[in-house]
Amino acid sequence: MFSKSNRALIYKVVLGLIVLFFIIFHFNFKIIVVKGSSMAPTYHDKEILIAARNTENILTNSVIIFCDNTNTVCIKRVIAKPGDTVSLKKNNVQVNNYQISNIQYEGKEIVYKLKKDEYYVVGDNSKNSYDSREYGPIKLDQIKGVIL
């Protein structure tokens, strides 16, 4: 059907396309495996996710991956972005004076006015999540991607 030279050319083109795909994927996306239950019921332990490395347009409610202060990769939901005000009061978390219904807080009262490079993140399983309620806002340069 195909001559040897045509088969060799097809093989090289297919191999080149595969290599190109992996190069493009590597620089634009990241594969992450969920560890723990802080994002349940949305994501579960050992679930495999793909994140876009582009962090230019992070919106409220986006699920992101980032490195915390111990350089551990974390996955959390953004509940507040630059310019927002987050108020933590007993049994109450508010963003711009709007109460977030499914998130509880039991620490001292704190108010954060997020700077231009700060985001406030919380796990979907807020009763079992180590997140911004404990360590405060995260910086944009800590964010490694947005879950697709």
Tokens of 12: 């090289």
- Which residue type sits at 65? I
CA geometry: angle 29, 73, 128, nearest 5 deg:
120
pLDDT at position 46: 96
Within a 13 Å sphere around the CA of 106, how many CA atoms are in the beta-carbon half?
2
Could you tell me if 121 and 146 are in contact, meaning their C-beta atoms sit under 8 angstroms apart? no
pLDDT (tens place) for every residue of the chain, 148 residues total: 667 778 888 889 999 999 999 998 888 999 999 999 999 999 999 999 999 998 888 999 999 999 988 888 999 999 999 999 999 988 889 999 999 988 888 888 999 999 999 999 999 998 899 999 999 999 999 999 999 9
Tokens of 91: 């049994």
pLDDT at position 140: 96
Could you tell me if 54 and 28 are in contact, meaning their C-beta atoms sit under 8 angstroms apart? yes
CATH class belonging to 29-147:
mainly beta
Within a 13 Å sphere around the CA of 133, how many CA atoms are in the beta-carbon half?
28
φ, ψ of residue 104 in degrees (nearest 5): -105, 160
